[in-house]
Chain A
Amino acid sequence: MKKYLIATTFLAGIAAAGVALADDDDCNVAMSNWQPREAVKAMAEAQGWSVRRIKTDDGCYEIDGRDAQGREIEVKVDPGTLAIVEMEYEDDDDDDDDDYGESRQNAAPAGSVAPPDNGLFTPGSKPVVKQ
């Protein structure tokens, strides 16, 4: 009897944890209303992104790939409307609970980045940053 009780308590605990995790979902769309993966791929390509992988995470579609400028991106998309829920650059720190950013984790992109062609910069010039 005692064993039975312990087992039940243990199972109940797991169930509660499961519910708690489910509450954390960023998207909440019934499976029947999900758009197919092909639609997600088409949406990403329409944005000029190259798609490496489409997976599901936190109840959303998540696109891993690169944006039109070649930066690594991770985009969460509502599976019903395909609206962007969250967009992150992979060269950022990943921790969502983090503050706005700490300099050491969130370093400026280095290397051969060039400023946009907005008429303000000398073409081909590179910014120099110190902080």
Chain B
Amino acid sequence: MKTLLATLALTTALSAPALAAPVTLTTNLSNYGGDGAYLALYVTDSKGVYKGSLWMAGGKAKYYKHLSDWNRATGGNTAEISGITGASVGAGRQLKITLDLADALFDAGYELHIDAAVEDFRDSPSEVVVPLTRAGANKPVAGRHYIQDFTYGL
């Protein structure tokens, strides 16, 4: 009986962190010389099908259409980003978010996308697309226009 309890305690202790892990998403913006950038961070499966949003930087829903891949996938539905919406991010600034994410997201073919938009500048959908793998953690990925680099840390 004691062994059973001990085994149970051990497996519980082991399986708990296997279900969820705090993941830190760090986005550094380049000095593009414009206003604060709107960023949508979201996850797709390996076929590019939208699974859900992780963060929305920028509070005004009327600008979300400029995050065009995210907007197409969600129909601009703000319920997708309820509770995970924050401020837009200034040029040259850093956005660092720590989220408790399902462990099943890693090494399962999922990809993290970042759409970026800046007022009076070109929209930049899927500026960053990075496969979510344990091996890829802590390795900065460069963006194209507004994002200097993006890193996810486990």
| Residues of chain A whose beta carbon lies under 8 Å from any beta carbon of chain B | 67-69, 71, 86-89, 91-92, 99-103, 106-109, 113-116, 118-122, 125-131
Contact = CB atoms under 8 A, between A and B. Distances in A.
Contacts of B63: 100
A113 to B, nearest CB: 4
Contact of B93 (A67, A68, A131): A131
A22 B83 CA distance: 38
Nearest to B104: A119
Given A121-B101, A129-B86, A130-B96, A100 B61 contact: no
B20 A122 contact: yes
B85 A100 contact: no
Contact of A100 (B37, B78, B83): B37
Interface residues of B, number: 46
Interface in B108-150: 117-119
B53 A101 contact: no
A120 B51 CA distance: 8
A121 B51 CA distance: 12
Contacts of A118: 51-53, 80
Interface in B38-82: 38, 43, 51-55, 57-63, 78-82
B84 interface: yes
Nearest to A116: B82
29 contacts: A69-B79, A88-B62, A99-B35, A100-B35, A100-B38, A100-B58, A100-B63, A100-B118, A101-B35, A101-B38, A102-B36, A103-B87, A103-B90, A106-B36, A106-B87, A108-B86, A109-B83, A116-B53, A118-B53, A120-B105, A121-B100, A122-B20, A122-B101, A125-B20, A127-B84, A128-B98, A129-B55, A129-B86, A131-B89
